[in-house]
Amino acid sequence: MTLWQTLLINANACFNQQNFEKAEENYHQAIECIEQYWQENSNDFELLMAWVSAFHNLAVLYETQEQPKLAFRYLQIPHQRMTELSQQSQYGDSLNFFALRALKITLTPMLAFSKKYPACDGCLSSLQKMAVAINDNQPVIH
């Protein structure tokens, strides 16, 4: 088991025990660790998904602590990064493909969060348009 996996397991255990401060610390450390591994292997989809998952777990943690603005920010970070990766050809086809797949994964929680915590009409409309565009651009596997 790698360090980032151990950190995520510890973070989840701390969250379940409602030790939110320790959970937050472990999630942040896991993100840093994953980013280091990712620099060495940017085509590793497992690392990409673990990175997204750690941010989403932080969002849940902040939402649990009644900090919805901070929670939404932690949903936005991986979505913005996947948007960038999906549009940059320098990373290669496989990473672009992974990023396009991950866009749907990052957008869904943002839409659900926006229904729970009302966003402005323009923001919600923008998210919904983005969802349609992402669905239209999802790669087809034969």
- Using only C-alpha atoms, what is the Rg of the chain? 16
- Return the domain boundaries, the chain: 3-137
Rounded Cα distance, 134 and 140, in Å: 12
CA–CA separation, 2 and 7 (whole Å): 9
Instruction: Say what the pLDDT of residue 66 is.
Output: 96
Is 3-137 assigned to CATH 1.25.10.10?
Answer: no
**Helix (H) and strand (E) counts for the chain?**
6, 0
Q: Is the pTM of this model over 0.75?
A: yes
Please list the pLDDT of the chain residue by residue as tens digits (142 residues).
Answer: 899 999 999 999 999 999 999 999 999 999 999 999 988 888 888 999 999 999 999 999 999 999 999 999 999 999 999 888 888 766 667 777 888 888 888 988 888 888 888 765 555 455 555 555 555 555 545 4
